[in-house]
Amino acid sequence: MIDVGVRQRRTQVGIVGSGPAGLLLARLLDRAGIDCVVLEQRDRGYVEARIRAGVLEQGTVNTLRAADVSDRLESAGLSHNGINLSLNGERRHIDLKALTGGKVVTVYGQTEVTRDLIAANLSAGVDILFEATDVDAQNLDTDQPTLTYTHAGQHYHLTCDFVAGCDGYHGVCRTCIPSGKINEYERAYPFA
């Protein structure tokens, strides 16, 4: 049963979405002493089992290390120093590590990254609300943006200093940003 009253909450940063972006942001903010709340529409099991990325670039690995969530990554991740390109019966090795001054690609599933980040955030006391539904963002162009949502049958009104829309291209936050306030950045390479 839903309690018709709306409960008021307050946080510094309201984060929508517990994918890698939202979870890593929450981790970095928490370590910087900044209070945040993560709202995720799916349940924890679904988020932790969602198959997506399989390889991590060096910058991602460095960031996970800096956020102190890399223990399992260090022990279970597979380092790839290069690739082989085959053309017209000839195989050529591309030594990525030598060509980039030591950068490698690490094979470590996004499911594992997600599990590591959820565990680290929860054990640090970060508030991740799974199965938060009807998430909506208001007043995004003011200094008191708000998130409204339903959790465990209760409606909430979360006042924030900042809202971080980490809910992906098809999420709700993008549609809440006032028109003319979105800058899109894209780099198109002349090859594929």
Ligand X SMILES: Cc1cc2nc3c(=O)[nH]c(=O)nc-3n(C[C@H](O)[C@H](O)[C@H](O)COP(=O)(O)OP(=O)(O)OC[C@H]3O[C@@H](n4cnc5c(N)ncnc54)[C@H](O)[C@@H]3O)c2cc1C
CB-wise, 41 or 146, nearer to ligand X? 41
Displacement of CA 92 from its chain's centroid (Å) = 36
Which phi and psi (to 5°) does residue 67 adopt? Answer: -90, 5
CB-wise, 21 or 34, nearer to ligand X? 21
Shortest distance in whole angstroms from residue 88 CB to ligand X = 28
CB-wise, 34 or 129, nearer to ligand X? 129
Shortest distance in whole angstroms from residue 43 CB to ligand X = 10
Q: How many CB atoms lie within 10 A of CB 119?
A: 13
Shortest distance in whole angstroms from residue 168 CB to ligand X = 3
Shortest distance in whole angstroms from residue 57 CB to ligand X = 6
CA distance 14 to 145: 9
CB-wise, 50 or 93, nearer to ligand X? 50
Q: Give the pair of three-digit tokens for residue 117.
A: 């980040």
Site residues (vs ligand X, CB under 6 A): 16-22, 39-42, 47, 52-55, 110, 135, 166-168, 171-172
Q: Strand pairing of 3-10 and 90-94?
A: unpaired
How distant, in Å, are the alpha carbons of 73, 81, 162 from that of 96? 20, 6, 39
Element (H, E) at 20: helix 20-31
Give me the residue whose beta carbon is nearest to ligand X.
19
CB-wise, 36 or 89, nearer to ligand X? 36
Q: Give the pair of three-digit tokens for residue 190.
A: 């002349």
Which phi and psi (to 5°) does residue 103 adopt? Answer: -80, 140
Shortest distance in whole angstroms from residue 36 CB to ligand X = 14
